[in-house]
Amino acid sequence: MRGKGGGVKDPREGGRYLPSAKIGPGSGSEVPPEKAGYGVEGDGAPAEGKAEREADAWDELVREFLLYLRVEKGLSPRTLEAYGRDLGRLARFARRVGARGPEELERKQLTAFLSFLGEEGLSPRSVARATAAVRRFYRFLVEEGRGGGYAALDLHYPRYVRRLPRVISQKEVERLLDLPFPQGPAGLRDRAVLETLYATGMRVSELVGLDLEDLDLAEAEVRVMGKGGRERVVPLGSKALEALRDYLREGRPALVRVPGQRALFLSNRGRRLTRQGVWEMLRTRAEKVGLGEKVTPHTLRHSCATHLLERGADLRYIQELLGHASIGTTQVYTHVSKERIREVYLRAHPRA
């Protein structure tokens, strides 16, 4: 593995296209979306004849597109699944307006489709993602010589207000992590999971995807495979290291059911821990310390970044730590810190 990451300390030290198989880390299946049985969800009895052939053509185009995104662009399974849903909605919309294929949809119809999504209750952020899916799909059609793709190439993303990440204070993190864990292997695992999430700021999908060989206790770092297949090496703080050593020594051996299991974090049944398992464990724990629904795995990620920034960490370091492709994504934490500084000021200054 590469050398240790940056030098800032861990805060603890101070119709639609439906996959027929689950995808993603911890799901028990790694079936790629383009082979996972995507098909247009019908409104009743199966279509016959010409309509059925047209639906099959849509299916085939989407499968080719998703394969292209997975192999050549390295998009994550969750993004591919979302794009499949978006293009499934587009296929249903096209049938309603009489378009037999994507090449028959005009610019005004594509704009109407995006407006329709908003009217159906999709959030502005989801509509923006659907816009990206449609644009990339049509660009793919042009590059592959399928024609008709120019209508979508300059579709505009709808404007939406970026919500500030939900964070909890450092004292609240201490309450969450210092509450005694249950005795036994599961308690050792849960402690290691939460300490690692907060120490590294990694996504829960990245955490449950870790294998034993990704962890280097001697160098106090972990190798993480992030979105788009981008790999990064993240340092571990002393609290996380201690929890991981205890888990590997006394917890994980008792959870292993199959020799050769490489997953780092195991469920009580000896399988790879799932995102849902982490969510449920964290929700239960948060309720015990009075945080309720304020805390999710992503809350710990946001809180890690915000607390590092408050303690003087460089924004570029936080970008590398979190695996953001763009510094613009990381800059949202500067707004969070400003808000928190204002809250403290108004609460503490005698003449505020």
Residues designated catalytic: 203, 227, 298, 301, 324, 333
Contact 193, 182 (CB under 8 A): no
- What is the C-alpha end-to-end distance of the chain, expressed in Å? 51
Whose tokens are 């599961």? That residue is: 186
Positive or negative CA dihedral for 229, 231, 237, 240? positive
Closest CA to 265 of 208, 321, 331, 311: 208
Residues 6+ apart with CB under 8 A from 305: 165, 201, 318, 321, 322, 330, 333
Order across the sheet with 231-235: list the strands: 215-216, 221-225, 231-235
Distance between CA atoms of residues 221 and 125, nearest Å: 34
**Extended strands (E) in the chain:** 215-216, 221-225, 231-235
Q: What's the CA angle centered on 18, arms 65 and 140, to 5 degrees?
A: 10
CA dist list (Å): 149 to 81, 92, 94, 293, 340? 22, 18, 15, 44, 46
CA 175 distance to own-chain centroid: 26
Contact 84, 17 (CB under 8 A): yes
Q: What's the CA angle centered on 341, arms 336 and 342, to 5 degrees?
A: 100
CA dist list (Å): 83 to 38, 65, 112, 272, 347? 11, 10, 18, 26, 45
Residues in the chain: 352
Name the token pair of 211. Answer: 């294998």
